[in-house]
DNA sequence: GCGGATCAC
DNA sequence: TATGGTGATCCGC
């Protein structure tokens, strides 16, 4: 719902009904309540401080609105539940039980899956360089905290929190800027060790991974606890970073378990049905990956707090939350999860996007400059990932924190900044028309319906190159009225449509050629070799990127500098200029640290 | 297919 | 004074 109220939302007194602010306060505590290190914290007091620090801000008002909407939704759920309970639910009950039985028959207890999670990773890496930081509450991140050490958590500080709020909770908090290069290097060391235990391990993020250690246990005649104990000790010994781990029959329970004895601990749920069911029965649903603050409240409202509570409500779940949610909850109750662990490279990407936040902007010209900047960024990402998009999604966040998206399907797949901009602008213009006085705090672009432009490996010669004739640039004249924009936008569509017909025959061939010829794409794009080499995954973007050390390093440098630029440019008035000028010099990593190289390669090619 | 919403990290 | 970026999925229309 678009609030047409541009500047009209001066803070209204809002006194009439002093609504219950408990749920809002809980909401304001942030999403990372389940993180470790919060047990001894007085959450009541913390939420009061956060509430006071936030009160009256636009962010706060938006959260308040969301909270009100959720409260309404929950009331509907409760009413619906009451209505359903007066009906005959035997059919639903039978259907639920049949599904549970079917799920049960798929239970696989033969695998030892582990989830490894670094403890306060970014903070821990910083403490390695400056041990004195271990003695003070410290967090990494500027506007919003990325992570914090355990001393800081004692004050209620946590990741995702605005730093000025964190300072209120803990005035002596030391804030450090992010240094991805350092974290990436350290993560690489850790992964090198994990690869020895499962060469097909799955990186879930820079500081998390899943491993299937079943073969290792068999080969070395060890039980899983011993293996994990040994691996954690080895990681701590050689990288000086402590990790926690969960051991279970599947990824879902392993993930939950790794949080159980954090930091620097491990926890196992035995590969036995009864042990799993016992564990799940008392487990708060919020601990399960996929249950966030909203779903937690919805479930709580009908009496589900733990996974054990799911069973007596099984007949209601589909009607109240939908089929998928029912299936998800059924798996939670039974403690089922996937046992297949595979490298991330095998997953197919579905979208590529960029977004950036800035100070409130109302000026149309400045907004266009921002859009252009975002389009330039996305072009780089499209080149890096070697995709074009058949669908383009524009995302804006209004000054009120309300988020809107609009999408369009250009007549052919696009990836160049000028195309991204040209097809995004009409959507922006329409928003400007619909929301008079629109002020933005974020702009983003995302391509979906991806078309791969990866080189097919053949086709070195006979390039018909002939790049598509440049489309009308669709430059908005300064102070132009919206009419003109819309007309030129339609023209752009028509031109592009005509062009598509022309291009239709050789389109696919051309796509791959263009990808190989993009001048400022990261170096990896140039590696056209004859044999398919093993791929390495970039610790920044997490994707397989290059064939050898040098190209891999080039790519990582590219990713790193991009991150740094994005961070440096944030909230500057003219990003396209200042971003690059203020970008710190790129530091190369040593090529081919011989000793740590060969064994990290993946064995999945064949 | 579109837009909103939720979730993870 | 002030609350992130990337990617995925699901739901209701």
The pLDDT tens digits for A43-83 are 889 999 999 999 999 999 999 999 999 999 999 999 999 99
Q: Which residues touch A66 (CB under 8 Å, ≥6 apart)?
A: A27
Q: Is the CB of A603 under 7 A from strand B?
A: no
CA dist., res. A285 & res. A299, Å (int): 8
Give the pLDDT confidence score for residue A455 in this predicted structure. Answer: 81
Q: What is the average per-residue pLDDT within A239-245?
A: 98
In this complex, the residue with its CA at the shortest distance from the C1' of nucleotide B4 is A404
Spanning CA of A111 to C1' of B9, the rounded length in angstroms is: 26
Tokens (6 digits) for A120: 């306060």
CA distances from residue A504 to A472, A491, A495 in whole angstroms, order as listed = 20, 20, 14
Query: Given this model, what pLDDT does residue A268 score?
Result: 98
Give the CA A349 to C1' C5 distance in Å: 17
Which nucleotide has its C1' atom closest to residue A395's CA?
Answer: B3
Cβ atoms of residues A604 and A198 within 8 Å = no
| Nucleotide at minimal C1' distance from the A161 CA | C3
pLDDT at A451: 98
Residue A566: the pLDDT is: 35
What is the distance between the alpha carbons of residues A210 and A214, in angstroms, rounded to a whole number?
A: 12
CA dist., res. A183 & res. A202, Å (int): 18
Task: Give per-residue pLDDT as tens, A483-529.
Answer: 323 334 434 444 444 344 333 333 333 333 333 333 223 323 222 22
A581 pLDDT higher than 70: no
**What was the pLDDT predicted at A44?**
87
Using C1' positions and the CA of A394, the closest nucleotide is: B3
Does residue A419 sit in helix, strand or coil?
A: helix
Report chain B positions within 7 A of protein CB atoms. 1-9
Q: Are A393 and A358 in contact (CB under 8 A)?
A: no
In Å, what is the separation between the CA of A205 and the C1' of B8? 10
Strand B at less than 7 A from CB of A351: no
User: Which residues have a Cβ under 8 Å from the Cβ of A163 and sit 6 or more positions away?
Assistant: A139, A141, A142, A143, A144, A145, A175
Q: What pLDDT score does A571 carry?
A: 28
Kindly report which listed range (A4-18, A200-214, A471-485) carries the lowest average pLDDT score: A471-485
Nucleotide nearest to A294 (CA to C1'): B6
Instruction: Please classify residue A247 by burial: count the beta carbons closer than 10 Å to its beta carbon, then call 0-12 exposed, 13-18 middle and 19+ buried.
Output: buried
Question: What integer pLDDT is reported at residue A42 of this predicted model?
Answer: 85
> Distance (Å) from CA A79 to C1' C8?
31
Q: List the structure tokens of A509.
A: 């061939």
Residues A203, A196: Cα–Cα separation, whole Å: 14
What's the DSSP call for residue A310? G
Q: What angle do CA A228, A234, A237 make, to 5 degrees?
A: 140
Q: Using the CA of A205, give the nucleotide whose C1' is nearest.
A: B9
Which nucleotide in the DNA or RNA is closest to residue A390, CA to C1'? B1
Q: Of all protein residues, which has its CA closest to the C1' atom of C7? A: A351
pLDDT recorded at residue A34: 65
What's the pLDDT score for residue A542? 42
User: CA A15 – C1' C7 distance (Å)?
Assistant: 40
Is the bond preceding residue A98 a cis peptide, omega within 30 degrees?
no
Q: Please, what's the b/e burial string for A76-113 (b: 16 or more CB within 10 A of its CB; e: otherwise)?
A: ebeeebeeeeeeebeebeeebeebbeeeeeeeeeebbb
DSSP A484: H
Which residues lie near nucleic chain C, judged by CB under 7 A?
A: A 28, 50, 53-54, 57-60, 143-144, 146, 160-162, 164-165, 321-325, 347, 349-357, 381, 385, 441-442, 444, 446, 541, 566, 570
Report CA(A502)–C1'(C4) in Å, whole number.
42
Return the closest nucleotide (C1') to the Cα of A406.
B3
The domains located in chain A, with CATH, are: 88-105+272-334 (1.10.150.810), 113-136+172-268 (3.30.70.270), 349-521 (3.30.1490.100), 522-606 (no CATH)
pLDDT of residue A499: 41
CA A447 to C1' B2 (Å) is 15
**Band of residue A449 on the pLDDT scale cut at 50, 70, 90:** very high
Work out whether strand A138-140 and strand A174-176 pair parallel, antiparallel, or are unpaired: parallel
Burial bucket for residue A355 (CB in 10 Å: 0-12, 13-18, 19+):
middle
pLDDT at A344 over 60: yes
| Cα dihedral sign, A286-A291-A292-A297 | negative
User: Measured between alpha carbons, how far is residue A361 from residues A4, A365, A367, A376, A606 in Å?
Assistant: 17, 10, 7, 19, 52
Percent of chain A with pLDDT over 90: 67
Has residue A594 got a pLDDT over 70? Answer: no
pLDDT at A459 over 90: no
Does residue A465 register a pLDDT over 80? Answer: no
Alpha-carbon gap, residue A208 to A122, rounded angstroms: 12
Which residue in A515, A476, A517 sits closest to A371, CA to CA? A476
pLDDT at A550 over 80: no
Return mean pLDDT, chain A.
Answer: 78
C-alpha A351: how far from chain center: 12
Strand ranges across the sheet with A403-408 = A351-361, A440-452, A387-398, A403-408
Q: What is the pLDDT of residues A361-407, one digit of tens each?
A: 999 999 999 999 999 999 999 999 999 999 999 999 999 999 999 99
- Residues near A588 by beta carbon (within 8 Å), at least 6 away in sequence: A553, A557
Tell me: pLDDT of A543 over 50.
no
- Between CA A170 and C1' B4 the distance (Å) reads 36
Q: Give the residue nearest to nucleotide C12 (CA to C1').
A: A322
Question: Which nucleotides of strand C lie under 7 Å from a protein CB?
Answer: 2-12
Q: A420 falls in which pLDDT band (50, 70, 90)?
A: very high
pLDDT at A152 over 70: yes
Local confidence band at A313 (pLDDT 50, 70, 90 cut-offs): very high
Residue found by looking up tokens 């990956």 in the block? A289
Residue A568 has pLDDT above 80, yes or no: no
Return the residue matching tokens 């350092």.
A182
Question: What's the pLDDT score for residue A157?
Answer: 96
Q: How far is the CA of A205 from the C1' of B9 (A)?
A: 7
Distances (CA, A) of A438 to A4, A367, A400, A422: 9, 10, 10, 20
Q: Tell me, in Å, how far CA of A431 is from C1' of B2?
A: 15
Which stretch, A31-35, A427-431, A469-473, A499-503, has highest mean pLDDT? A427-431
Place of tokens 């400007």: A432
What is the pLDDT at residue A532?
Answer: 28
Task: Indicate left, alpha or beta for A233 from its phi (over 0: left) and psi (-120 to 50: alpha).
Answer: alpha
- A353 sits in which H/E element: strand A351-361
In the predicted structure, residue A316 carries a pLDDT above the cut 70: yes
d(CA A510, C1' B2) / Å: 30
Give Cβ neighbours of residue A98 (< 8 Å, ≥ 6 apart): none
How deeply is A115 buried, as exposed, middle or buried, from its count of CB atoms within 10 A (0-12, 13-18, 19+)? buried
* Residue A259: CB less than 7 A from any atom in strand B: no
Neighbouring C-beta atoms of residue A581, cutoff 10 Å: 8
State, as a whole number of angstroms, the distance between the CA of A355 and the C1' of C5.
7
The whole-number Å distance from A210's CA to B5's C1' is: 28
**Residues paired with A574 in a beta bridge:** none
- Residue A41: pLDDT band (50, 70, 90) is confident
Asked if the Cβ of residue A3 lies within 7 A of any atom of strand B, the reply is no
Predicted confidence band of residue A35 (pLDDT cuts 50, 70, 90): low
DSSP structure class, residue A535: P
Among the residue ranges A27-31, A233-237, A266-270, the one predicted with the least confidence is: A27-31
Q: How confident is the model at residue A474 (pLDDT cuts 50, 70, 90)?
A: very low
A527-556 burial code (b ≥16 CB/10 A, e <16): beeeeeeebbbbbbbbbbbbbebebbbbbb
Extended strands (E) in A85-124 = 113-118
Q: Where are the beta strands (DSSP E) in A378-533?
A: 387-398, 403-408, 440-452
Query: A37 falls in which pLDDT band (50, 70, 90)?
Result: low
Nucleic chain B contacts, protein chain A, residues 60-79, CB cut-off 7 A: 66, 69-70
Distances (CA, A) of A260 to A253, A265, A441, A446, A460: 11, 8, 38, 37, 54
Residue A147, pLDDT above cutoff 90: yes
pLDDT at A308 over 60: yes
The confidence band for A537, taking pLDDT boundaries of 50, 70 and 90, is very low
Residue A25, token pair as written in the block: 């306060």
Average pLDDT over residues A473-487: 29
């Amino acid at each position: 719902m678009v609030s047409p109220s541009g500047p009209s939302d001066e803070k209204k007194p809002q006194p009439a009904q002093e609504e219950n602010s408990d749920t809002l306060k809980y909401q304001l505590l942030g999403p990372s309540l389940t993180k470790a290190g919060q047990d001894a914290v007085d959450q009541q007091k913390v939420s009061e401080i956060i509430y006071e620090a936030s009160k009256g801000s636009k962010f706060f008002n938006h959260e308040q609105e969301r909270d009100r909407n959720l409260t309404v939704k929950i009331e509907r759920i409760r009413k619906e539940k009451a209505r359903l309970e007066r009906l005959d639910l035997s059919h639903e009950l039978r259907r639920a039980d049949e599904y549970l039985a079917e799920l049960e028959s798929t239970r696989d207890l033969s695998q030892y899956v582990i989830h490894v999670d670094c403890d306060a990773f970014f903070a821990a890496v910083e403490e390695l360089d400056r041990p004195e930081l271990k003695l003070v509450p410290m967090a990494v991140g500027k506007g919003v905290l990325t992570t914090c050490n355990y001393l800081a958590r004692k004050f209620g500080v946590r990741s995702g929190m605005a730093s000025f709020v964190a300072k209120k909770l803990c005035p002596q908090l030391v804030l450090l800027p992010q240094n991805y290069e350092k974290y990436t290097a350290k993560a690489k060391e850790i992964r090198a060790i994990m690869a020895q235990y499962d060469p097909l391990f799955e990186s879930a993020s820079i500081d998390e991974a899943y491993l299937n250690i079943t073969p290792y246990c068999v080969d070395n005649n060890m039980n899983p606890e011993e293996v994990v104990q040994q691996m954690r000790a080895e990681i701590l010994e050689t990288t000086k970073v402590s990790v926690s781990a969960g051991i279970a029959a599947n990824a879902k329970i392993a993930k939950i378990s790794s949080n159980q004895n954090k930091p620097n601990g491990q926890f196992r749920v035995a590969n036995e049905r009864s042990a799993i069911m016992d564990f799940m029965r008392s487990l708060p649903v919020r601990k399960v990956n996929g249950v966030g603050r909203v779903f937690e409240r919805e479930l709580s409202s009908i009496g589900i707090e733990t996974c054990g509570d799911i069973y007596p409500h099984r007949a209601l779940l589909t009607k109240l939350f939908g089929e998928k949610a029912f299936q998800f909850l059924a798996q939670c109750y039974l403690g089922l999860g996937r046992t297949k662990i595979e490298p991330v490279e095998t997953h197919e990407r579905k979208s590529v996007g960029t977004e950036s936040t800035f100070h409130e902007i109302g000026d149309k010209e400045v907004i266009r400059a921002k859009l252009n900047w975002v389009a330039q960024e996305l072009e780089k990402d499209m080149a890096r990932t070697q995709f074009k998009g058949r669908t383009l999604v524009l995302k804006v966040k209004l000054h009120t924190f309300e988020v809107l998206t609009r999408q369009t399907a250009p007549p052919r797949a696009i990836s160049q900044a000028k195309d991204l901009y040209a097809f995004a602008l009409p959507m922006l213009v329409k928003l400007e028309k619909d929301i008079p006085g629109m002020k933005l705090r974020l702009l983003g672009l995302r391509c979906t319906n991806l078309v791969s432009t990866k080189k097919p490996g053949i086709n070195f010669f006979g390039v018909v190159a002939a790049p598509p004739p440049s489309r009308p640039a669709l430059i908005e004249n300064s102070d132009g009225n919206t009419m003109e924009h819309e007309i030129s936008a339609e023209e752009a569509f028509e031109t592009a449509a005509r062009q598509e017909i022309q291009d239709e025959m050789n389109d696919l061939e051309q796509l791959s050629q263009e990808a190989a010829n993009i001048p400022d794409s990261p170096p990896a794009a140039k590696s056209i070799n004859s044999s398919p080499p093993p791929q390495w995954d970039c610790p920044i973007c997490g994707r397989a990127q290059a064939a050898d050390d040098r190209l891999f390093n080039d790519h990582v440098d590219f990713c790193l500098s991009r991150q740094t630029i994005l961070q440096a440019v944030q909230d500057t008035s003219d990003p396209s200029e200042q971003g690059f000028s203020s970008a710190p010099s790129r530091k190369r990593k040593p090529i081919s640290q011989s000793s740590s190289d060969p064994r990290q390669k993946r064995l999945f090619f064949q």
